[in-house]
């Protein structure tokens, strides 16, 4: 059944078909080794100087672009690099010329094992926040931490999740393994949206003639839409490179396992451009520029019909249904109508000829975040108060709670595939039954799904990180649920900016401790230790968030056995009473029992 296509080292295979789905031509391919091919060199076109009496014409469009460059964020789209550059001559600039000098390596870094404390990550180098907001809040309000899933990842405050401990191992314990699940870096928007959206707002402006802005909105008169779609921004690339460096500095010593067994680690990502770019930038940070013979990069197809635990929605139709799994829009709209009323009243008089809607004002807040992570700064950020940014942050909590986490009826099912893989890795036992989004072709092959390794790195999406939190029954994050759409709960436990920002990273840390023969596990999310007392059998109020691995494994086995993926993803069920019905455990209404079976 396997189609093997040779060429550039790719192997195409038949993908595992989801239970209950009609067979189709489905293939998942892997790239065993990714070797970055560096551009050999560029030769600049020679321009004659004025002393040579040469005349160089200046194009009018370049004059306009240069004039626009004086405005913040005025860069234009110009599709770099060119499709067929004429000044590239690889043979003139070989990448290996010899004469490397001394190259002996040193000891592997091991910050997590040797340092007295854990380095923090502030989150937003190279990005500028609005000066007006700094003046208003006396510099105490960090806007970058209040963009929900659009925030750049940062080290959460100690005790943010309820455990007053740092990520460094407690006294008497040492780290023996790491399972890392991380999100891609900052990206452009993902296209049109059912509610608001940067591209929607741009289309609104283009669709109305004769409008004119003044005051704070005056910049709109010559503003242009500058955002691409879905791929990483330069800042997003840096985020993943930095994450790779950070993980090597903390866990480099775990590579000793691979040296001793003469094997290479297998890192996984998906075929989407931003996913592959994130994985490669992580690898560059972790291994350096020479990736050959350092690791193996597994690339799984992210498309409808292909089983993929790192993109489970592709085989879960109910999860993509706005009346079932993705049901957040009414909640977000209701909240927007409340917290943005003052902003609408303030901004409407500043633009004539266009009747602003709440949806437009919400799009402006989105544009602030997206423009900042794309071009470094955005004038839209200056339009809103601290309270309005807190409202925006909560709107994204609502979005992800009801679309991807404890308030979504399909969240547990979509996260259970990765949990099954985690269970297999922790027990060194292959998956026995493929009854979710797991891929039987890949997960049953020791080459593509090795067991017994000390380091695993998987790249995924924000939604999947939240799916996994839900599937693991980490109900401390559900303490405020169901989330209300008329106010912000005080000291809420569920914050998308803490759980799923750009480049979010979730560490499953394995430890050996002197005081017990049982290996221990704990979960660290964006440097915050997550309590595991909601996982059946794990100690309550454990000061370091530890749980014996055998206990954790048995609890996860029970969760897997009780999760009905086929019913959640393929079943014919409805959310009772529209969006008024709520779940706080990420499960759909109970499966109906046919009277014929009674």
Alpha carbon distance 299, 276 (integer Å): 8
Residue 460: pLDDT over 80: yes
Q: Among the listed ranges 94-103, 219-228, 440-449, 469-478, which one has the minimum average pLDDT value?
A: 94-103
Determine the average pLDDT of the residues in 14-21: 45
Determine the average pLDDT of the residues in 184-202: 89
Determine the average pLDDT of the residues in 25-41: 38
Please report, for residues 36, 133, 287, 588, the alpha-carbon distance to residue 291 in angstroms, rounded to integers and kept in the order given: 7, 43, 7, 44
CATH 3.40.50.1240 in the chain: give the residue spans: 147-188+239-322+397-570
The CA-based diameter of the chain, rounded to the nearest angstrom, is 97
What local confidence, expressed as pLDDT, does residue 14 receive? Answer: 37
Helix orientation angle between 329-339 and 386-404, rounded to the nearest 10 degrees = 170
**Residue given tokens 């600039």 in the structure block:** 93
Residue 554: pLDDT over 60: yes
What's the pLDDT tens digit per position in 146-168? Answer: 999 999 999 999 999 999 999 99
Q: b/e per residue, 307-320, with b = 16+ CB within 10 A?
A: bbbbbbbbbbbbbe
What's the pLDDT tens digit per position in 54-80? Answer: 333 333 443 334 334 444 445 667 777
What local confidence, expressed as pLDDT, does residue 281 receive? Answer: 98
Q: What percent of the chain has pLDDT over 90?
A: 74
What local confidence, expressed as pLDDT, does residue 123 receive? Answer: 82
Residue 410: pLDDT over 90: yes
Burial of 422 (0-12, 13-18, 19+ CB in 10 A): buried
Partner residues linked to 513 by β-bridges: 173
Q: Could you tell me if 235 and 370 are in contact, meaning their C-beta atoms sit under 8 angstroms apart?
A: no
β-bridge pairing 10-14 and 212-213: unpaired
Confidence of residue 82 (pLDDT cuts 50, 70, 90): confident
Confidence of residue 456 (pLDDT cuts 50, 70, 90): very high
What's the pLDDT tens digit per position in 492-544? Answer: 999 999 999 999 999 999 999 999 999 999 999 999 999 999 999 999 999 99
Tokens of 115: 């340092």
184 catalytic residue (yes or no):
yes
What's the pLDDT tens digit per position in 87-128? Answer: 666 667 777 889 999 989 899 999 988 887 888 898 888 899
Mean predicted lDDT score pLDDT of the chain: 86
What's the pLDDT tens digit per position in 386-397? Answer: 999 999 999 999
What local confidence, expressed as pLDDT, does residue 195 receive? Answer: 86
Q: Which is more confident, 35 or 364?
A: 364
Residue 329: pLDDT over 80: yes
**From 146, 179, 184, 434, active-site residue:** 184
Fold type of domain 147-188+239-322+397-570: Rossmann fold (3.40.50)
Q: Which is more confident, 543 or 45?
A: 543
**Residue given tokens 């050996």 in the structure block:** 512
Alpha carbon distance 307, 138 (integer Å): 50
Q: Could you tell me if 135 and 129 are in contact, meaning their C-beta atoms sit under 8 angstroms apart?
A: no
Concatenating the DSSP letter of every residue in 173-227 gives: EEEEEEEEEEE---B---S--SS--HHHHHHHHHTS-S-EE-GGGGGGGG-----
What local confidence, expressed as pLDDT, does residue 595 receive? Answer: 42
Burial of 114 (0-12, 13-18, 19+ CB in 10 A): exposed
Q: Among the listed ranges 33-42, 87-96, 140-149, 186-195, which one has the minimum average pLDDT value?
A: 33-42
What local confidence, expressed as pLDDT, does residue 578 receive? Answer: 62
Alpha carbon distance 567, 416 (integer Å): 13
Residue 18: pLDDT over 60: no
Please report, for residues 149, 183, 308, 557, the alpha-carbon distance to residue 434 in angstroms, rounded to integers and kept in the order given: 31, 25, 12, 14
């Amino acid at each position: 059944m396997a189609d093997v296509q040779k060429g550039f080292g790719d192997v195409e295979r038949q993908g595992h078909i989801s239970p209950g789905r009609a067979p189709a031509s489905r293939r998942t391919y892997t790239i065993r080794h990714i070797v970055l091919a560096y551009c050999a060199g560029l030769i600049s076109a020679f321009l004659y100087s004025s002393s040579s009496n040469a005349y160089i014409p200046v194009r009018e469009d370049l004059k306009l672009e240069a004039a626009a460059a004086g405005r913040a964020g005025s860069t234009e789209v110009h599709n770099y690099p060119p499709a067929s550059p004429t000044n590239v001559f690889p043979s003139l600039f070989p990448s290996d010329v010899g004469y490397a000098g001394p190259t002996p390596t040193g000891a592997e870094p091991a910050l997590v094992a040797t340092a007295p404390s854990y380095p923090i990550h502030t989150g937003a180098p190279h990005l500028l926040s609005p000066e007006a907001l700094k003046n208003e809040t006396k510099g105490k309000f960090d806007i970058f931490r209040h963009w929900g899933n659009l925030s750049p990842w940062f080290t959460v405050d100690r005790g943010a999740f309820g455990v007053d401990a740092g990520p460094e191992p407690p006294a008497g314990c040492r780290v023996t393994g790491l399972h890392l699940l991380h999100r891609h870096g900052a990206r452009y928007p993902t296209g049109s949206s059912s509610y608001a959206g940067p591209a929607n707002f741009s289309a609104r402006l283009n669709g109305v003639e004769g409008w004119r802005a003044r005051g704070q909105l005056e910049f709109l008169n010559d503003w242009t839409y500058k955002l691409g779609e879905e791929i990483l921004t330069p800042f997003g690339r840096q985020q993943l490179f930095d994450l790779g460096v950070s993980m090597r500095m903390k866990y480099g010593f775990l590579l000793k396992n691979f040296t001793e067994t003469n094997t290479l680690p297998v890192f996984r990502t998906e075929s989407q451009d931003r996913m592959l770019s994130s994985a490669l930038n992580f690898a560059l940070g972790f291994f350096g520029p020479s990736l050959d013979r350092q690791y193996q990069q597994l690339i799984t197809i992210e498309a409808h019909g292909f089983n993929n635990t790192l993109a489970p929605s592709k085989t879960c139709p109910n999860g993509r249904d706005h009346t079932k799994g993705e049901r957040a829009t009414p909640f977000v709209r209701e909240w927007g109508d409340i917290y943005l009323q003052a902003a609408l009243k303030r901004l409407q008089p500043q633009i004539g000829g266009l009747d602003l809607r709440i949806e437009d004002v919400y799009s402006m807040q989105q544009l602030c975040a997206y423009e900042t992570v794309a071009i470094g700064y955005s004038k839209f950020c200056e339009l809103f108060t601290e309270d309005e940014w807190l409202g925006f942050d909560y709107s994204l909590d609502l979005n992800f709670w009801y679309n991807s986490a404890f308030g979504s009826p399909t969240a547990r099912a979509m996260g259970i595939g990765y949990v099954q893989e985690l269970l297999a890795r922790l027990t060194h036992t292959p998956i026995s039954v493929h009854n979710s989004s797991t891929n039987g072709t890949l997960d049953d092959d020791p080459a593509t799904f090795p067991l017994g390794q000390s380091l695993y790195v998987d790249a995924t999406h924000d939604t999947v990180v939240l799916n996994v939190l839900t599937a693991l029954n980490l109900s401390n994050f559900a303490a405020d649920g169901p989330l209300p759409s008329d106010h912000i709960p005080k000291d809420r436990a569920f914050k998308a900016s803490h759980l799923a920002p750009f480049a979010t990273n979730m560490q499953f840390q394995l430890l050996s401790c002197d005081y017990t023969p049982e290996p221990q596990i704990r979960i660290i999310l964006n440097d915050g230790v997550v309590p595991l007392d909601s996982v059946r059998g794990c100690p309550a109020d454990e000061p370091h968030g530890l749980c014996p691995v055998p206990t954790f494994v048995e609890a996860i086995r029970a969760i897997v056995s009780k999760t009905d993926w086929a019913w959640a993803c393929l079943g014919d069920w409805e959310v009772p009473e529209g969006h008024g019905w709520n779940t706080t455990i990420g499960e759909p209404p109970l499966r109906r029992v046919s009277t014929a079976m009674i």
